Amino acid sequence: MKIVLQDVTMVYGQRKVLDGCSLTLEVEGLTALTGPSGCGKTTLLRLLAGLERPQGGTVRGIVPEESAILFQENRLLPWRSAGQQIRDVLPRSRWGEVEEWLRFAGLEGEGDTRPASLSGGMARRLALARCAALGGGLMLLDEPFAGVDEQRAARLMQRLEELGRPVLLISHEPSVLERCRRVYRLEGPPLRLVSAP
């Protein structure tokens, strides 16, 4: 899929995160955005998810309502168990898939565990599984493997590929970037494309 930003401007207070930004992202399988912290990658992802509105310009090629975003924070509901977190995003007709998604995240047998009892890596994997379970088209993942060991991250990336959905992810990890089909390098603020595949 091709996402096109045309003259997009976004200002937070005095800070111009995007200043007439025009770029085209070809998202195919696992596609990565990388660049220094604070350059505007997260803002770009939030913009694509429809959580931010640009002050100017247009975004084409994406339907925010059909995308699924994994936030930089896990945002798990502290009072719901791991299984319930997955079930909460599934329609009733798909409740039978809960175990399958827990397996996706390598959390078999943890269905009754509350987030407070999960390690940082386990919580991250659960948040990723919940995002993937949500369904829809494009997946927007903000540092999906933060706190996840390299081996598990590789396994999760393989499973994400197997889903056959376009994935746009933010990462700084060389091992993650290596496994992505496309890598866009960004700089900023204001955000600009440094290199495209």
Partner 1 sequence: MDLLLPSPMAVAASLWKLAGTPQFWLSALFTLGRVCQGVLGGVALGSALALLTHFTVWGERIFAPAIRVMRATPVVSFILLVYLWVDRATIPAVVAGLMVLPILWGNLTVGLESVDRQLLELARAYRFGRWKTLRLIYLPSLRTHFASGLLNAFGLAWKSGVAAEVICPPALAIGSRIQQAKVALETPELFAWTLVIVALSLGLEGILRRVVHPREERGQ
Segment contacting partner 1 by CB under 8 A, of 27-35, 67-75, 96-104, 178-186: 67-75
Residue 180 to residues 6, 12, 22, 33, 166, Cα–Cα distance (Å): 25, 31, 23, 10, 11
Q: Where are the beta strands (DSSP E) in the chain?
A: 2-12, 15-26, 30-34, 56-60, 68-70, 139-142, 167-170, 182-187, 192-195
Task: For residue 77, state whether it binds partner 1 (rule: CB under 8 A).
Answer: yes
Segment contacting partner 1 by CB under 8 A, of 4-12, 33-41, 76-84, 101-109: 76-84
Task: For residue 63, state whether it binds partner 1 (rule: CB under 8 A).
Answer: no
For partner 1, give the closer residue by CB, 86 or 193: 86
Answer yes or no: are the C-beta atoms of 70 and 146 closer than 8 Å. no
Q: Which one of 11, 23, 59, 134 is in contact with partner 1 (CB under 8 A)?
A: 134
Sequence-distant (≥ 6) Cβ neighbours of residue 196 within 8 angstroms:
184, 185
What is the smallest separation between the CB atom of 95 and partner 1, expressed in angstroms?
14
Rounded CA gap, 175 and 6, in Å? 31
Segment contacting partner 1 by CB under 8 A, of 29-37, 65-73, 150-158, 161-169: 65-73
Task: For residue 154, state whether it binds partner 1 (rule: CB under 8 A).
Answer: no
Please give the residue ranges that form the binding site for partner 1 (CB under 8 A). 49, 51, 65, 68-69, 71, 73, 75, 77, 79-80, 88-89, 134
